Amino acid sequence: MTAWIDTHCHLDAPEFAPDRDAVRARARAAGVAHCVLPAVDVATFGAVRDLAARHDDSYALGIHPLHVDRADPGDLERLDEALRQSRGDPRLVAVGEIGLDFFGDAPQRERQEQFLAQQLRLAARHGLPVILHVRRSADALLKHLRVAGVGGIAHAFNGSRQQADEFVKLGFRLGFGGTISYERALQVRRLAAELPLSALVVETDAPDIPPQWIYRTAAQRAAGAGQGRNEPGELPRIGAVLAALRGMPEQDLAQAARANAAAALPKLAPLLAERAGAGSSSAGGDNHGQ
């Protein structure tokens, strides 16, 4: 079975409370070998850490730009301390989800930039890459990144080709998920098809950004069809869409995306190698038993 890496999954989200373990089990059965679980605020640090340990995944610690209005400067100190305490944890792979969100009436742009700048400094201090939230803010983020000296992943990328190239020059991989399944998402689909293969990673952002086959319109939701919850188990089908856009076999795309994820988040590599080795040992044992 093709093995996929979901580089952005909020398994700790309240939407998964009724069946969280079953969600992860379904994803594994579908071929999702590993998930990266980014925190969104100090209150979720423990949850992502515990879930990563429980499901043999990895995690990131950070303060999301849409949560800075509820954060205080002491939260940055708490993040610094959490990163220090988890320095020896092989499952801590990044600082994230951090970034900027300038969509609509997103809160406190100046405060967002202050939190971003300080979290980028923390990432550099602790020797970790970052997982970035980039929404209507690519140019502002690039200004910060040019002086930060860190790389990582620009999650759910939706900027221009020129902006994409600038992120790649700074050592970032770009995350593509359910948005590429919508035929009307012309710019994102074009980027997904034309960017260098080495620049891409795949993600779900579950429970958010549902792919086209899950999405429910307002009318459908009003009629009782539910919210269209995204799950990490949808990643292989999203990956198949990306492979089709690029005209390449799914297995080759999955292999490249795994390598790109490990390059963007270097602490992933030994975790993935350990899982691959465990799978080989298990297979060998089964054959021996026959």
The tally of domains found in the chain comes to 1
Q: Rounded distance, CA 32 to CA 257, Å?
A: 12
Residues 251-274 pLDDT 10s: 999 999 999 999 999 999 999 998
Q: Say what the pLDDT of residue 288 is.
A: 31
Predicted confidence at residue 286, as pLDDT, reads 41
Residue segments in the chain with a per-residue pLDDT below the cut of 50: 281-290
**CATH number of 73's domain:** 3.20.20.140
pLDDT of residue 220: 73
pLDDT of residue 217: 76
Where is the binding site, in residues? 8, 10, 97, 133, 155, 205
**pLDDT computed for residue 105 by the predictor:** 77
Write down the pLDDT at residue 73. 85
Let me know if residue 290 belongs to a domain: no
Domain-located, residue 96: yes
pLDDT at position 283 = 45
Q: What is the pLDDT of residue 231?
A: 98
Decide if 73 is inside a domain. yes
> 237 lies in which domain range?
4-285
- Provide the terminal-to-terminal Cα distance of the chain, rounded to the nearest Å: 21
Residues annotated in the binding site for a divalent metal cation, as ranges?
A: 8, 10, 97, 133, 155, 205
**CA dihedral over 134, 139, 140, 143, signed as positive or negative:** positive
Whether 119 is covered by a domain: the verdict is yes
Q: Specify the 3-state DSSP secondary structure of 105.
A: coil
Whole-number Å distance between alpha carbons of 24 and 21: 5
pLDDT, position 221: 66
Q: Is residue 144 part of a domain?
A: yes
